[in-house]
Amino acid sequence: MNYLAHIYLSGDDDNLLKIGNFVADSIKGKAYKKYPKEIQNGIILHREIDTFTDTHPIVFESKHRLFKRYRHYSAVIVDILYDHFLAKNWENYHEKRLSSYVDDFYLMLKYNFELLPKRVQNFYPYMVSDNWLLSYAKVDGIEKILSQMSMRIKRKIQLQDAVEELNKFYSEFEQEFTAFFIELKAFTEDKRNELRG
């Protein structure tokens, strides 16, 4: 799952847990232990979500559809595509409008800026100015995100071309996301309860 799903799956009760879940990819190994306990829990939750997602048979179906063309990048692409379906169908998952939800999240990051890893501090202004989280709701927003990711990888692979597969197999990807997300939400709620102790 990508940024929006990780933020959403943190729930609405603990801002530091949400921040930890959001920044986790920028914190390697045991470095998470230098953060406050609530942020540590968010990082642990993020890793649990990734493991559950990476080993799930429904997600495998989505990745398999892309694998021949994109190889191991298919997992990264599916993370982005699934965020698209979460954003597009947001009203099915949360009572607050997506635009208000992401504005509140950006503001929370601003108020807790000193807790963010340097990498996240560096991309935060671009995230806000381009409104990454809201842009996921549109296919052209997904295409832009994938294009930006392509510029950062060394191999000559155009991740944004996956929009062709998205359009061709749109209903299949959406059905897979919807079925998987029901299971992921239940799994994550259990993990959040475990972390609260």
What does the pLDDT profile of the chain (197 residues) look like in tens digits? 799 999 999 999 889 999 999 999 999 999 999 999 999 999 999 999 999 999 999 999 999 999 999 999 999 999 999 999 999 999 999 999 999 999 999 999 999 999 999 999 999 999 999 999 999 999 999 999 999 888 888 667 889 999 999 999 999 999 999 999 999 999 999 999 999 87
Kindly list the distances between the CA atom of residue 186 and the CA atoms of 183, 190, 191, 192, in Å, as whole numbers in the listed order: 5, 6, 9, 10
pLDDT at 152: 80
Angle at 135 between CA 159 and CA 163, to 5 degrees: 30
> What pTM was estimated for this model as a whole?
0.94
pLDDT at 104: 97
The tokens for 78 are 């599916």
Distance from first CA to last CA of the chain, Å, rounded?
Answer: 25
The tokens for 93 are 């998952």
| Gap between the Cα atoms of 147 and 105, Å rounded | 24
Counting Cα atoms < 13 Å in the Cβ hemisphere of 132 gives 20
Number of H helices, E strands in the chain: 11, 0
Three-state secondary structure readout of 123-179: HHHHHHHCCHHHHCCCHHHHHHHHHHHHHHCCCCCCHHHHHHHHHHCHHHHHHHHHH
Whether residue 79 contacts residue 1, with contact meaning beta carbons closer than 8 Å, is answered with: yes
pLDDT at 156: 75
The tokens for 3 are 């940024």
46: left (phi over 0), alpha (psi -120 to 50) or beta: alpha
pLDDT at 5: 97
pLDDT at 100: 97
